A and B are shown apart, each in its own frame.
Chain A
Amino acid sequence: MYDFAYHKPTSVADAVKILSADPDARPISGGQTLLPALKHRLNKPTSVVDLSGIAELKGIKRNGDTLVIGALAKHVEVSNSPEVKAAIPALAMMAGTIGDTQVRNRGTIGGSVANNDPAADYPSAVLGLGATVVTDKRRIAADDFFQGMFTTALEPGELLVAIEFPIPEKAGYAKMRNPASRYVMAGVFVAKTTSGVRVVVNGAGPGVFRQAEMEKALSASWSEAAVAGIKQSADGLNGDIHGSAEYRAHLVTVMAKRAVAAAG
């Protein structure tokens, strides 16, 4: 790791001030993605801004039909939260399967969503539930937030504060893990929301994406059978030593069925 200055602000304003002043400063929350990258010297931040002391970023609460999860909510907290379990059980279930126990004890939802690793779990739920990403400056619809591999609508110095999840009628998630890394090889998040059915694929492609054909089929008939016959095109999907694009495309259909089954 290259050395860096360490800051631990106690307010969003202070954090943003440091991050805005220095384009090479990086925020850190759980650090479960950032630190491994820094250890391999893939990144050379001048300073690291530890967000863990900022109370405004914490907390999980329900506001009517919306579940608001603070950026600093750890995976273990989301997984165990009675509010999340009651409102969006699929989200709690997902949080309980991210990485491993130790990752879940440190990693946060804000860090995962802001990082937008194509093989991460959370982005599929954010997009699949049509959530709103709240930053220190604005509110960004999930459909506008994710912009491909490791790229989001966040501007330099802009800080993710919370995510607002509209509570769906039902939702489900299923994934096949990369056997070695345990990141997502192919996953599908399905949700039946007030604004319609959403089906999101993660892991299989260079970023999360909505599966329009499956959305249409599930809108017509919410059942495993509705998606069982829909083949995901392998074009543009990832292929590597763990599986071809064709295999991942096949898994999308399988995981879609399982996600629907999980949603009930």
Chain B
Amino acid sequence: MPQVTLTVNGTTHTAEVEGRTLLVELLRETLRLTGTHVGCDTSQCGACVVHVDGASVKSCTILALQANGAQVTTIEGLAKADGALHPMQEAFREYHALQCGFCTPGMVMSAIDLVQKHPDGMSEKEIREGLEGNLCRCTGYHNIVKAIAAAQDVMHGRRAELAPAAE
């Protein structure tokens, strides 16, 4: 069987895979990183979004072998070693941007990529458009949009700390 070597959340792994093995299958079944989810079979829901070499991709729509040599970051790799959350994770909690939590890992990974791609910041409309590849059935997106708007200020250094949500 072919071998794939890739770095996930800073740790290098080598695994035997089939040609058809998807990156998400490698992550979930071989590496047991089950924070990355599968919510559809048409590459639309975004529950499986991870970063491959810094860009958000749907890990259900890339072969494990296509990620050979890549740097992969999953939801498990976002927090700092001391447990401190990424500003996007913090914002999701502060703004109640998750309910069942199933879409959340992919949503957070997409949101981080989105913010990084917009150094000048995004309007509410731009955030909504930027979430086109991620489905959430619980929140109606209202609080997800607010959380991303708040997180971008911290990520771009415009605020030292997350703006608290209104009570």
Contacts and interface: CB of A to CB of B under 8 A. Distances in A.
Interface string A26-47: 0010011001101110000001
Nearest to A34: B61
A184 B66 CA distance: 28
A101 interface: yes
A interface, over-half SS: mixed
A199 B43 CA distance: 31
Interface in B42-82: 42-44, 46, 49, 55-58, 60-63, 65-66, 68
Given A4-B19, A48-B19, A103-B133, A39 B41 contact: yes
A181 B133 CA distance: 11
Question: Interface size for chain A: under 10, 10 to 19, 20 to 34, or 35 or more residues?
Answer: 20 to 34
Contacts of B57: 102, 105-106
Nearest to B132: A100
B18 interface: yes
Interface in A88-117: 99-103, 105-106
A101 B110 contact: yes
A150 interface: no
B65 A102 contact: no
A182 B60 CA distance: 18
Contact of B43 (A8, A52, A76, A103): A103
B114 interface: yes
B20 interface: yes
B35 interface: no
B130 A101 contact: yes
B56 A50 contact: no
B66 A102 contact: no
B113 interface: yes
B2 interface: yes
B110 to A, nearest CB: 7
Contact of A102 (B19, B20, B110): B110
Q: Size range of the interface on B?
A: 20 to 34
A15 to B, nearest CB: 15
Contacts of B2: 6
B67 to A, nearest CB: 11
Contacts of B65: 6, 8, 50
B43 A38 contact: no
A2 to B, nearest CB: 7
Interface in B75-107: none
A35 B132 contact: no
Contact of A31 (B19, B42, B61, B113): B61
A1 interface: yes
B42 A35 contact: no
A31 B133 CA distance: 16
Contacts of B18: 3
Contact of A3 (B20, B130, B132): B20
B61 A76 contact: no
Nearest to A36: B43
Contacts of B63: 6, 28, 31, 35, 48, 50
Interface of B: 2, 18-20, 22, 41-44, 46, 49, 55-58, 60-63, 65-66, 68, 110, 113-114, 130, 132-133
15 contacts: A1-B22, A3-B18, A6-B63, A31-B61, A32-B43, A35-B63, A39-B41, A47-B19, A100-B46, A100-B132, A101-B56, A101-B110, A102-B46, A102-B49, A102-B133
Given A8-B68, A52-B66, 16 more contacts: A1-B20, A1-B22, A5-B19, A6-B63, A31-B62, A35-B63, A38-B20, A48-B19, A101-B110, A101-B114, A101-B132, A102-B49, A102-B56, A102-B133, A103-B43, A181-B44
